[in-house]
Amino acid sequence: MPIVSAFLWGLIFALGLGLAGMTRPEKILGFLDIGGNWDPSLMLVMGGAVGLTFILFPRILRRGRPVLGDRFDLPVRKYVDGRLVGGAGLFGIGWGLSGYCPGPAVVSLVTADAGVWVFLACMFGGLAAGRWLNARQAVRLATLDTAAIEAVQLPGSADGT
Amino acid sequence: MNIQTLLSTLGGGVLIGSAACGLLYFNGRLAGISNLLTGLMPPGTGDMPWRFAFVLGLLAAGMLLLAVYPQAFGAAPRPLWVLGFGGFLVGLGAQISNGCTSGHGVCGLGRRSLRSLVATLTFMGTGMATVFLFNRLNGG
């Protein structure tokens, strides 16, 4: 059942993207072109989508568990840091260059347009590169923490030696 | 902007929001596409089936749209190398900031996440600056 559910919500999600015009890069680029020939209609997409999630998400989460699962799987990070802002900044530059973000690009695969295939292939390359960078960062942080703990413990001879 | 554009964009947004709510309500998962795709990349995660099913749903909808509403699609007015470079930055940025338009923009704002608000404002801002500069450099 969770599989059928995921398939159906994916289908509805993508029908929404198509109806909203998110799968037309020209429209996205028009929306981002505030200094030129601005097309503000995509604000309605965000309005419609976020309007619903903003009202319904808290009610759904109050249930304690999803209908077809044991628990809600949510991100735990709360802090705003350089990685968040820097990553989002790079994402926006790529979005503004291409007119595609990940969801609409996947849906547009069916058009067999060379541009969207190139975009997606390079996007997966970027995802892999980012994952590698994140892993390196995690290792560095872990090393730093260990060093800090050792520095604190050594003078006091915490282990009694 | 005519009334038809108005209704289809608002209707599309409502469908996107409904799907995000439905996936959370039934599956307990957030409809963040970049994170969903990352989980499908090798070595993969323990929850591949629902991820594959969601992506299959996206592709099935794509085929449906192609059959009954082909004007939903249009090629990007950019050279291939720009699309490739843009794609790389989209992937890299989404991974480093843990989310994309759907994850931070639709789901994160719904969760009233400060991180997602900051991310959304940031990528909207750099996206607008990029289009502005790109058009200037191309004599627009």
Helix or strand holding residue A12 (H, E) = helix A2-20
Alpha-carbon span B39 to A59, nearest angstrom:
27
Q: Answer yes or no: do A124 and B41 touch at CB < 8 A.
A: yes
B15 to chain A: closest CA residue: A16
Provide mean pLDDT across the span B14-23: 98
State how far the alpha carbon of A161 is from the alpha carbons of A149, A154, A158, B74, in Å: 16, 10, 8, 71
Per-residue tokens: A154: 């050594």
User: pLDDT for B123-133, tens place per residue?
Assistant: 999 999 999 99
Mean pLDDT of chain B: 95
Cβ atoms A31, A39 nearer than 8 A: yes
What's the whole-number mean pLDDT along residues A104-121? 97
H helix runs in chain B, sequence order: 3-27, 33-38, 48-68, 80-96, 109-110, 114-137
> Are A103 and B100 within 8 A, CB to CB?
yes
Name the pLDDT band for A146 (thresholds 50, 70, 90).
low
CA distance B63 to B76: 19
User: What are the counts of helices (DSSP H) followed by strands (DSSP E) for chain A?
Assistant: 6, 0
Chain B residues whose beta carbon lies within 8 Å of the beta carbon of residue A122:
83-88, 91
Does A38 touch chain B if contact means CB atoms closer than 8 Å? no
What six digits make up the tokens of B103? 């994850």
* Contact status, residue B78 vs residue B137, Cβ threshold 8 Å: no
Cis peptide before B43 (omega within 30 of 0): yes
A13/B57 Cβ within 8 A = yes
Size of interface A-B (CB pairs under 8 A): 505
Q: Chain B residue closest to A81 (CA)?
A: B115
- Helix A82-98 and helix A25-32: axis angle, to 10°? 120
CA distance A154 to chain B (A): 35
Q: Which residues contact A43 (CB under 8 A, 6 or more apart)?
A: A31
DSSP 8-state assignment for residue B138: T
Distance CA A42, CA B9 (A): 7
What percent of chain B clears pLDDT 70, i.e. is strictly above it?
A: 99
Amino acid at A25: P
Which residues of chain B have a CB within 8 Å of the CB of A100?
76, 83, 86-87, 90
Q: Tens of pLDDT along B26-82?
A: 999 999 999 999 999 988 888 999 999 999 999 999 999 999 999 999 999 999 999
pLDDT at residue B132, rounded to an integer: 95
- Cβ contact, residue pair B83, A122, below 8 Å: yes
Here the ipTM equals 0.96
Residue type for position B83: L
pLDDT at position A161 is 37
